[in-house]
Amino acid sequence: MGIRFNEVSYGYSSFAQGLYTAIKDINLEITEKNEFIALVGHTGSGKSTLAKHMNALIFPTSGTLEIFGHTITNKRNKKIKYNDIRKKVGLVFQFPEYQLFEETVEKDIMFGPMNFQITKEEAKKLAKQSLKLVGLDDSYLSRNPYNLSGGEKKRVSIAGILAMDPDILVLDEPTSGLDPAGKRILMDLFKNINETTGKTIIIITHDMDLVYQYFNRVLVMNDGHLMFDGKTEALFQKEDVTDYHLDYPNTIKVLKYLNQELNLNMNVFQKTTAEALAEIKRAVKL
């Protein structure tokens, strides 16, 4: 079960450009339990387009998509309840402005759960809990989402999806624009949800340090193609990830540089700054 792409391509059609194929012949399987996956790739490589397929927000132009046993093709099928799919797979948009539209933060977070037969009181409680999870206190409940900072909007849009308690969470650049502490709070929250509930979580990011530290599986998009699907360690052990328009994590870059400049033989594959520093200490016998 979970999500499976079979030869999926998607083309945007616009009057000015004609048809633009944003993702091409994608084959991909994501199980519904215990996965923690990073989705990376250069700007315009097709990450958001791929993510929008995962909860049937858009349909493949060709190929088929299976989501929790429902087969999605390029035609709307009256027998499929698309809202049920969107309850099972929660997607947090890249731009929170597309997701926030109520006049208070509380109403915004309550909106999703209220569609699924729960009382107003329960929804209010959920709103409070979800807001706390993303690191915002109760004083935000009565605020107008429109007047929040970029990072606050992002957190509120994430709280809205958490409140719906989906089985699979897809987050499109949830940490972009956040300060370093905010990034860590959210990444620890997602990891914690993944570990305690077994929910599969897919996160789009450009931050290779986060990818290396937090994720075991990574998907790399390049020019609409899925170029790599495998272990994070294996990706960064490759000779040249710049072929995929990616960069190495800072720890690897610094240790490689020091090895070269100081003629050392350190193990460059250290995930955190603390581990990298320990390796440097060992090598120079501090």
Ligand X SMILES: Nc1ncnc2c1ncn2[C@@H]1O[C@H](COP(=O)(O)OP(=O)(O)OP(=O)(O)O)[C@@H](O)[C@H]1O
Residues identified as active-site: 173
Contact with ligand X (CB under 6 A): which of 36, 37, 38, 46?
Answer: 46
Q: Does 97 bind ligand X (CB under 6 A)?
A: no
As given in the structure block, the two tokens for residue 249 are 């994590």
User: At its nearest, how many Å lie between ligand X and the CB of residue 35?
Assistant: 20
- Which residue in 210, 221, 215, 186 sits closest to 272, CA to CA? 210
Contact of 91 with 54, CB cutoff 8 Å:
yes
Residue 111: left if φ>0, alpha if ψ -120 to 50, beta else—which one? alpha
Q: Does 48 bind Mg ion (CB under 5 A)?
A: yes
Give whichever of 49 and 55 is closer to ligand X, judged by the CB atom: 49
Token pair 């299976």 is found at 66
Burial of residue 117, with CB atoms counted within 10 A of its CB: 0-12 exposed, 13-18 middle, 19 or more buried: exposed
Quick one: which segment of 87-95, 101-109, 258-266, 278-286 binds Mg ion (CB under 5 A)? 87-95
Contact of 26 with 8, CB cutoff 8 Å:
yes
Give whichever of 94 and 270 is closer to ligand X, judged by the CB atom: 94
Contact with ligand X (CB under 6 A): which of 18, 43, 117, 285?
Answer: 43
- Determine the distance from the C-alpha atom of residue 281 to the mean position of all C-alpha atoms in its chain, rounded to a whole number: 35
User: At its nearest, how many Å lie between ligand X and the CB of residue 153?
Assistant: 17
User: At its nearest, how many Å lie between ligand X and the CB of residue 260?
Assistant: 31
Q: Does 47 bind ligand X (CB under 6 A)?
A: yes
User: At its nearest, how many Å lie between ligand X and the CB of residue 20?
Assistant: 5
Quick one: which segment of 48-56, 82-90, 121-129, 191-199 binds Mg ion (CB under 5 A)? 48-56
Residue 270: left if φ>0, alpha if ψ -120 to 50, beta else—which one? beta
Q: Does 205 bind ligand X (CB under 6 A)?
A: no
Please count the residues of this chain forming the interface with ligand X, following the rule CB under 6 A. 13
Distance of alpha carbon 50 from alpha carbon 38, whole angstroms:
13
β-pairing, 89-92 with 168-172?
parallel
Q: Does 48 bind ligand X (CB under 6 A)?
A: yes
Give whichever of 245 and 271 is closer to ligand X, judged by the CB atom: 245
Quick one: which segment of 12-20, 61-69, 158-166, 182-190 binds ligand X (CB under 6 A)? 12-20
Contact of 36 with 194, CB cutoff 8 Å:
yes
User: At its nearest, how many Å lie between ligand X and the CB of residue 49?
Assistant: 3
Distance of alpha carbon 283 from alpha carbon 262, whole angstroms:
10
User: At its nearest, how many Å lie between Mg ion and the CB of residue 173?
Assistant: 6
Distance of alpha carbon 282 from alpha carbon 132, whole angstroms:
41
Quick one: which segment of 42-50, 122-130, 188-196, 247-255 binds ligand X (CB under 6 A)? 42-50
Q: Does 14 bind ligand X (CB under 6 A)?
A: yes
Q: Which residues ranging from 91 to 130 are in contact with Mg ion (CB under 5 A)?
A: 94
Torsion of CA 186, 189, 191, 197, to 10 degrees: -150
Interacting residues with ligand X (CB under 6 A)? 12, 14, 20, 22, 41, 43-49, 94
Q: Can you give the binding site for Mg ion, defined by CB under 5 A?
A: 47-48, 94
